[in-house]
Amino acid sequence: MTLVDDIVIKRLGRAEYAPTVDAMRAFTRTRGEATPDELWLLEHAPVYTLGQGAASVSVANGIPVVQTDRGGEVTYHGPGQVIVYALVDLARRGIKVKEFVRRLEQSVIDLLDGRGERRAGAPGVYVDGAKIAALGVRVVRGRSYHGLALNVDMDLSPFNAIDPCGYPGLRVTQMRDLGLPFDDQRLVASIARQLDA
């Protein structure tokens, strides 16, 4: 555990999806007015997750499909993808939900040295039309959990079994294929800057 500005940073390594979501819910439910915000950095074993806007999907590759309470559609998580769960008291920081999503997107755009971009009506970060980062949050009583998933150095083929984020034919990419190095400390610092903006 480390501290960046007033945010607790936890690097959890490889973590199972369902227990991690349960832990985020418990943290959000029990945190107090003075509880520091936390960023959890981790990766998941292969899993598809269905956000609140997603229709059910059927896949033939044996990867589990899990319904969850974040916003958004269907996405894939797997080794080599960096997940940042942002447990942030938005009310205390005076940040509205749409602005929070924009700030998370901007933290990735900054990490990509300006190569990333937004797409109107489709949260996330894109490079040359291919999605590199997916976002989905849940806010309860002004406090967020879930967050962003950044494709760093992973097997992208499981995305072929779904319509990523509900968009048929949406291409995905990753930092390795773009020749961009990944530094989790830069990403954390970028998110912290956005939260303090």
Out of 47, 87, 165, 175, the active site residue is 165
Sorted by sequence, the CB contacts under 8 Å of residue 114 that are 6+ apart come out as none
Indicate if 165 belongs to the active site: yes
Q: Rounded distance, CA 80 to CA 189, Å?
A: 20
Residue 73 makes CB contacts below 8 A (sequence gap 6+) with 50, 51, 53, 54, 163, 165, 166
Pairing of strands 65-67, 143-151: unpaired
What amino acid positions are annotated as catalytic residues? 165
